[in-house]
Copies of this chain bind each other. A is one copy, B any other.
Amino acid sequence: MEENKNIRIIDIAKMAGVSIGTVDRVIHNRGRVSQKKLEKVKAILEQFNYTPNIIARSLVSKKSYKLIALIPSFAENEYWMYVAQGITKAAEEVRAYGVVVEQHHFNQYDKTSFDRAIEAIKSIEFDGIVIANFFKTSVITLSEFLNEKDVSYVYIDANIYDQHPLAYYGTNSYDSGAIAAQMMLERIDHNKDILVSKISYQQDELSNQVLNREKGFLDYLQNARYSGKIVDVRLKVEDPLYNFNTLDQIFRQHPNGAIAGAITFNSSCHILAHYLKEKEIRDIYLVGYDLIEKNRALLKEGTIKLLIGQRPELQGFNAIKALSNKIILGVDPERINFMPIDLLIKENVDYYKDF
């Protein structure tokens, strides 16, 4: 296996005593080559470890590939904006290779919206898709459809273990719940109460992500022989007044600092934080997820004590890159790619900007 950086098709052709056309046919397994020449050319390709110049390849190839990113719609500075930024950044890098990325959005609180987006996608031709893994049954149906059509798909945010995406980028949700519990138990009395708040839209079902985090959290508490009470509360994205009153009622039922810790398992921790701030309740160890702007501010001023980050930009970026590397270079990515579980506190949050 001789090392040679820049051996070209024409060099191979000369050495094999054939034309570049023949070498090209061998490289691409297009047939129409005699057994004798085929072997000769293959041997020389092997010997010189020929690798095509991808620059030249993508210049000539007028082929363009379409990738789809199926993610929730988002407002400024919401969680999925950061994922979208990573997607866009990757899209810029791969554009030169003829890869075009198209974002399709859905309402993350509404399964029918997700299903509608899927239907729309089914009628499009595309070469790969990044799926924000929200509604399990829908995602499974879509995955089977894609298997059928032999189109690569990558999950982000959450994984489904008995499916076989090209890759998964996201955290280990269960463990990140356990870490939240560990950090909390280090700071609070083990027999005081913990408020667990779930925030959703109307009576919507919760995402796998949230459910897994909660499981990790509760399991950890149990193993650590936590002896306080878990106080559950369900808040509503669209109804601040309802939230306020509900929380008021809960804190009346648990007076005098009975509640020592509080947690939400998604990025909407700021809702709970605003209540605590308004009521000037300062002695609660409040933990949330995701470094969105609203949370960042409340972390810096001290209402939120800990945020757990999951590298949304990197998830989006890597997912697109994985698909495009698969398509352009034929390179398979790692199947499971857990993102770091970043611990963000007041003091280090300023250094988490674009990651």
Residues of A within 8 A of B (CB): 53-56, 58-59, 96-97, 171-172, 175-176, 178-179, 182, 314, 338-343, 345, 347-348, 350-353, 355
Contacts and interface: CB of A to CB of B under 8 A. Distances in A.
Nearest to A346: B182
A261 to B, nearest CB: 15
Contacts of A339: 351
A340 B342 contact: yes
Nearest to A344: B343
B182 A347 contact: yes
A348 B54 contact: no
22 contacts: A53-B96, A55-B55, A56-B59, A171-B351, A175-B350, A175-B351, A178-B347, A179-B345, A179-B348, A182-B345, A182-B347, A338-B351, A338-B353, A340-B342, A340-B352, A340-B355, A341-B348, A341-B351, A342-B342, A342-B343, A343-B343, A343-B345
B59 A347 contact: no
A345 B97 CA distance: 41
A116 to B, nearest CB: 28
A53 B96 CA distance: 7
Contacts of A54: 96
Contact of A55 (B97, B172, B314, B342): B97
A343 B340 CA distance: 11
Which 9 A-B pairs give the minimum distances between C-beta atoms? A343-B343, A341-B348, A179-B347, A340-B351, A340-B352, A55-B59, A55-B96, A338-B351, A341-B351
Nearest to A334: B354
Contacts of A176: 348
Contacts of A355: 314, 340
Contacts of A172: 351
A345 B343 CA distance: 9
A170 B351 CA distance: 11
A5 to B, nearest CB: 8
Contacts of A352: 340
Given A56-B59, A176-B348, A340-B348, 5 more contacts: A55-B59, A55-B96, A172-B351, A175-B351, A341-B348
Contacts of A182: 345, 347
A176 B345 CA distance: 12
